[in-house]
Structure 1
Amino acid sequence: MKALVKTAQGPGHVELIDVLEPSCGDRDVKIEVKFTGICGTDLHVLHDTFKNYPPVILGHEFSGVIAETGAGVRDVSVGDRVAVNPSTAVTCGKCDYCRQGYYMFCSIRRGMGHGVNGAFTKYAVVRDDQVYKLPDDVSLEEAALAEPLACAVQAVEELTDIHLGDTVLLSGPGPIGTLCLLLLVAKGCKVIVAGTTQDRLRLDMAMQLGAALTVDVLQENLQEVIQRETDGRGVDVAMECAGVEASVAACLQAVKRRGRYVQVGILGKEIRLAFDTILYKQLQVVGSLAHSMQTWSRTLQLLRQRRLPLLQTVTHTIPLSQWRDGFDICEMKRGLKVLLTYDE
């Protein structure tokens, strides 16, 4: 079968090559992959700016149909449609973090798509506890968004109090930022989405998905807009989803005294920061790293309830053989969520 593989360390070294079909262990399930989303992490692995362990198949945001089960599997069956938590591929299961469901902080953790083989291929094998059976009315396209949706759910719902009627600045209208937007709109928040001129398509989509207004920070003065929209108070909550130094500074400046700041974007480098702003404004500051077991339970509830227009965030579905086009769309911000499908 074909697979998109990071073949060696260093920038590049990503190729579509032939690999052996994986086999099932006793507590494993083999999934025929139907849709896999391109994530920023995949781009980082391509450029070697995110830790990876080649040779490794990329891709971790995926859904599919169970094609085979190990002898010890009891809770799912061949033919079941499933979403997958890719982040628990390797954990110790014994440390305090694992026992409490906070697997992201396990010292030996490796996730699919960079630490172990992922889903940009035809078949993926995972443990049976990583899969979540889907209701019949949840599409496999929506299920492929379960993992990034879980990232947004933790950021919006679980780490700080965001209330009906709050004004929220969301800086960075990428895929995770847009999923955060859907949740904030569903909560009844007034959301101001900030981006750059390159984000024009995504800012337009944000308006269609319920943003109160959008701001191109290269064309407008963001702080003047914030002051006008909040009667001079500042926003109740700032969510930084871009992972850019200027965006961090703008969010800290925009949030009101005793407000809340959520860091969602990964900067990937040291930055200069007016740290006393946190002190003088007495801000509540939290970072949001991926998700937890609790998050996945909540995310599956959201999928079942079908209250979020998830499919509106999917702008492209592309054959795996055209993966370079999909990666380029993401890097150049010519779309939002791009899904790849297997083709021979």
Structure 2
Amino acid sequence: MKAVRLEEIEQLFLREVERPVPGPDDLLVRVEASGICGTDRHLLHGEFPSTPPVTLGHEFSGIVEAVGSAVLGFRPGMRVTGDPNIVCGHCVHCHAGRINLCQNLRAIGIHRDGALADYVIVPQKQAHELPLSLKPDYGAFCEPLACCLHGIDVAGIKAGSSVVVLGGGVIGLLTVQLARLAGATRVVLVTRQASKRRLAEEIGATASFDPTAGDAAAGIAGPDGLLPGGADVVIECAGVAETMEEMPRLARPGGTLVVLGVMAKGEKIQIEPFDILFRELRILGSFINPFVHRRAADLIISGAIKVEPLITRRVSLEEVPEVIRNPARPGEVKVLFMPSA
């Protein structure tokens, strides 16, 4: 079979490899759709820890082709999505219920072979059934949506809250929708790209702001801004220093800041501790998707989250290495590998 292999840092190739064989507790899944994520670019450049050589791809859905001897509840022909984050269940963090902080965390597509390939192995405990009536490419959104859902849970958004979302990529646009579902009545998306601002307002944002048009803090939190006094919650989804540093200026006193975007490991930003102290701001991290993958899948199945407008293009496996090697195109939201592309 074919697979997109990160052989070492900056070395990404399409290779012919042997089809994997499922162990007793595993499913062999024929990949129907696999998302290309910003994290894949971080992995290529050594900006996010991984264990090459490894097949990339951690956002996926597919059809079960074979099951191991100890598998219960899954059978060939079922459609599944896979939670890529495999925890040990034995460390202090797992025992405390903080499984996303597992000391022995291993992820499909990062530490073990993933779904930018014809087939992928999924442990049965990581698999979640999807209906055959669901479009297969929608199933590839379960993992990114689950990460956003954890961020919304961390943020503690209440009915009537105001929220600023920084970044107009797929994470930002999913977060906009989740914030509205959580009860936020005012949700402002901040991004430079006009097409993404328009899209955000089509799928749930009550307003959007172009940071190139003026000072974001004045335009959003100023006396004549979109949210005078600042937002109850600010969620950073872009993973860049500029927006990370901007977060406190957009929050009201007592507000909550959530870091959901991924900056490269080792990068630093500047903040003013006195401002955090004096206005009693809460700064929280949100890492991956503890106990939320099933909820994310159900939101997609129900149609409560719109994913079709977020699909920019579908590509073949042969095209994937170049997609990962290059920055996202202007206006691009989500690129999916699909065998039928």
Deviations along 1:177-233, whole A, 9 cap, x unmatched?
11101111233421111122xx33322221221212221212222122212245632
* Aligned residue type for 2:106: R
The answer as to 2:212 corresponding to 1:218 is: yes
The one-letter code sitting in structure 1 at the alignment partner of 2:105 is R
Change (3 A) 1:240 1:336: same
- Identity fraction in percent: 29
Match of 1:5 in 2: 5
Pairwise CA distance, 1:240: 1.1
1:134 CA drift (Å): 1.1
Note the C-alpha offset of 1:305: 2.5
Partner of 2:101: 105
Which residue in 2 is equivalent to 1:298?
A: 295
Q: CA RMSD in A?
A: 1.9
Give the alignment partner of residue 182 of structure 2, picking from 148, 162, 187. Answer: 187
Residue number in structure 1 paired with 2:284: 286
More deviation in 161-170 or 256-265?
161-170
**TM-score normalised by L of structure 2:** 0.93
Q: State whether residues 244 and 269 of structure 2, in contact with CA within 8 Å, keep that contact through their aligned partners in structure 1.
A: no
Shift of 1:55: 1.1
What is the Cα deviation at residue 25 of structure 1? 0.8
Moved more, 270-279 or 184-193: 184-193
List aligned pairs for 1:102-141, cutoff 5 A.
Answer: 102-141=98-137
Letter in 2 for 1:309: K
Q: Secondary structure at the match of 1:159?
A: helix
**How many Å apart are 1:324 and its aligned residue?**
4.0
1:240 aligns with 2:236: yes
Could you say what secondary structure the match of 2:190 adopts? strand
Report if the CA contact (8 A) 2:155-2:233 is conserved: no
Which residue of 2 is the match for residue 178 of structure 1?
173
Report the residue type matching 2:324 in the other structure: F
Assess if the C-alpha contact under 8 Å between 2:255 and 2:280 holds in 1: yes
Distance 1:137 1:275, change over 3 A: farther
Assess if the C-alpha contact under 8 Å between 1:38 and 1:339 holds in 2. Answer: yes
Q: In structure 1, the residue corresponding to 2:212 is in which secondary structure? A: coil
Shift, 1:322, TM fit:
1.2
- Once the two structures are TM-superposed, the CA of residue 50 in structure 1 deviates from its matched residue by 1.5
With structure 1 as the length reference, what TM-score do the two structures score?
A: 0.92
DSSP 3-state at the match of 2:107: coil
Quick check: 2:44–2:325 contact (8 Å CA) kept in 1?
no
- Structure 2 stretches lacking a partner, 5+ long: none
Q: Secondary structure at the match of 1:29?
A: strand
Equivalent position amino acid for 2:61 in 1: S
